[in-house]
Structure 1
Amino acid sequence: MTYGIRITTPEELAALPHPHAWLCDMDGVLIRENLVLPGAKEFISALESSGTPYLVLTNNSIFTRRDLSARLATSGLDIPEERIWTSAVATADFLASQSHGGSAYVIGEAGLTTALHQQGFVMTDTKPEYVVLGETRNYSFSAITQAIRLIEGGAKFIATNPDASGPSPEGTLPATGSVAALITTATNRKPYFVGKPNPIMIRAGLNRIGVHSETTAFIGDRMDTDMRSGLEAGLQTHLVLSGSTALEDVSTYPFRPVAIHEGIGGVVPLVS
């Protein structure tokens, strides 16, 4: 049952305050399996032409911002790397605020290691201050074992995001949250997740582009991460049904987005 939950009408959309800035999830909102979704080009074009501040967010920590900018360009979206905010960059930003020039044992790929290096962190397997877990397509049993032993030895456990699985053309893939659960079971130590739904990733993104939550909107395709983090950060939340969430799924959550759209094209009228 949807309990009256429905697509937001143009009249209801027109009654909403027009945001001064936008945060937008990437996969399932702008692109899906490297194909541009309907309305994405128009949305980005409207932001650029109006000079509206924005960031494209992703919990994916594999790629650098430059990599993602190139990936989006291949798909037909021209988004500069400074407009991209990943869980890897948010994690490095958070750790830099906690320990300037610290050390870390990292399980992850270039997106994470590059972000940590840029914040002055040293990668080591000898008494690191942190064990940092990110997403990778090549999880190593020996690396996970090393992480477990370092955490048992006193290293603090950080993970880029809690997503348990991710999509691929071949089917579901285990993601950071699944491996974090394995390490937690072995060590009885839970990680601190920096990425969505932790609103710290949202707030750091707002600070990066110099805008306030009260006048910013967030577009995402997931209730459990996007809408929750947007709600907890105090943003105007817009759910699109072009990714992971179906309309009938919304009623299973104890919170609601401000508006629901078939796709990102539905929010273009709100871009000033």
Structure 2
Amino acid sequence: MSEMKPVESWLTDMDGVLVHEQQAIPGAAEFIQTLIDSGRRFLVLTNNSIFTPRDLRARLRAGGIDIPEDAIWTSAMAAAQFLDGQRRGGSAYVVGEAGLTTALHDIGYTMTDTDPDYVVLGETRTYSFEAITRAIRLIEAGARFIATNPDPSGPSQEGTLPATGAVAALITRATGVEPYFVGKPNPLMMRSALNRIDAHSESTVMIGDRMDTDVISGLEAGMRTILVLSGSTRPEQVDRFPYVPSRVVDSIADVIPLVAEYGQQAEQ
């Protein structure tokens, strides 16, 4: 293999890597502190569009992980940035929560259910049949369909919850219109994250717990990838995929020594 550049920046997924059901995974706080102490640029990514970065920081701090607000990048923020570049000052009918509506308000979008430019679907714990029906009718009338992420389900303390991808499938079945998914595994989210911290893919590592979102999106964006086995992907599942991560480790605690190793030595 050709020589690879030392790592200067890190991207990491949140759920399954740093936290599990709001509880910090052992080593997560130490990993973040290691990045801060070493001066490495980093960003915590999440496909969850429910919360604003301020909300997420508070939730992470409650679990013992202190991450600066500007080091959090959500699929809602990536979707807003995408829409700002596509149709500045547009309008949207939103099915989602504060993380998404705040991101859209911040770029100057108007929230409306009257002839919007877009229907934007995000994560919510209270999907409304009335709101979904309205979204379907607006898409049938010509609104463009955007969704923050394709995850079909998510975890909770009570068990599996339907997520954005599942509701998007319902709307697609009713309208025949496929949404454009902005979040992982779309490399667009990875590129927007790299741009946010002024990083280059060849000197950045992506850490995640899912082969089908984190690893594939990091790979397609040109980054080295680390899969942690503390979340969704089980060890026996890794070989089933036609691509492999750069490394597989048990948890984020095993990544801490790699910050210095990757930063000081070029790999062969």
Shift of 1:18: 3.8
SS of residue matched to 2:45: strand
* 8 Å CA contact retained: 2:5, 2:202: no
Change in 2 beyond 3 A, CA 1:16/1:36: farther
* 8 Å CA contact retained: 1:132, 1:158: yes
* 8 Å CA contact retained: 1:19, 1:270: no
Aligned residues: 258
Counterpart residue number, 1:115? 103
What is the identity, as a one-letter code, of the residue corresponding to 1:32?
H
What is the identity, as a one-letter code, of the residue corresponding to 1:165?
S
Give the Cα–Cα distance (whole angstroms) in 1 for the partners of residues 199 and 5 of structure 2: 16
Counterpart residue number, 2:235? 247
Moved more, 145-154 or 16-25: 16-25
SS of residue matched to 1:271: helix
Give the Cα–Cα distance (whole angstroms) in 2 for the partners of residues 38 and 117 of structure 1: 36
SS of residue matched to 1:116: helix
Give the Cα–Cα distance (whole angstroms) in 2 for the partners of residues 270 and 120 of structure 1: 41
Task: State the TM-score, normalized to the length of structure 1.
Answer: 0.93
Give the Cα–Cα distance (whole angstroms) in 2 for the partners of residues 35 and 136 of structure 1: 20
Counterpart residue number, 2:30? 42
Shift of 1:165: 0.2
Counterpart residue number, 2:141? 153
Give the Cα–Cα distance (whole angstroms) in 1 for the partners of residues 59 and 129 of structure 2: 30
Counterpart selection for 2:94 from 78, 97, 106: 106
Shift of 1:270: 2.1
Shift of 1:16: 7.5
Counterpart selection for 1:230 from 189, 199, 218: 218
* 8 Å CA contact retained: 1:28, 1:244: yes
| 1:45-194 equivalence runs, <5 A | 45-194=33-182
Give the Cα–Cα distance (whole angstroms) in 1 for the partners of residues 51 and 65 of structure 2: 17
What per-residue deviation string (whole Å, max 9, x for no partner) do you get for residues 95-153 of structure 1? Answer: 00101100000000000000000010000000000000000011111111110110011
Give the Cα–Cα distance (whole angstroms) in 2 for the partners of residues 158 and 204 of structure 1: 17
Counterpart residue number, 1:27? 15
Matched, 1:256 2:244: yes
What is the identity, as a one-letter code, of the residue corresponding to 2:253?
G
What is the identity, as a one-letter code, of the residue corresponding to 2:157?
P
SS of residue matched to 2:255: helix
Moved more, 33-42 or 87-96: 33-42
What is the identity, as a one-letter code, of the residue corresponding to 2:256?
V
Give the Cα–Cα distance (whole angstroms) in 2 for the partners of residues 257 and 265 of structure 1: 17
What per-residue deviation string (whole Å, max 9, x for no partner) do you get for residues 200-238 of structure 1? Answer: 000000000001001000000000000010000001100
What per-residue deviation string (whole Å, max 9, x for no partner) do you get for residues 236-272 of structure 1? Answer: 1000000001110001111000000000111112213
Give the Cα–Cα distance (whole angstroms) in 1 for the partners of residues 92 and 241 of structure 2: 36
Runs (4+) off by over 6 Å: none
SS of residue matched to 2:33: helix
> What's the C-alpha RMSD, in Å, of the aligned pairs?
1.1
Task: State the TM-score, normalized to the length of structure 2.
Answer: 0.95
| 1:188-203 equivalence runs, <5 A | 188-203=176-191
| 1:211-226 equivalence runs, <5 A | 211-226=199-214
Shift of 1:17: 5.4
Change in 2 beyond 3 A, CA 1:16/1:39: farther
Q: Percent identity?
A: 66
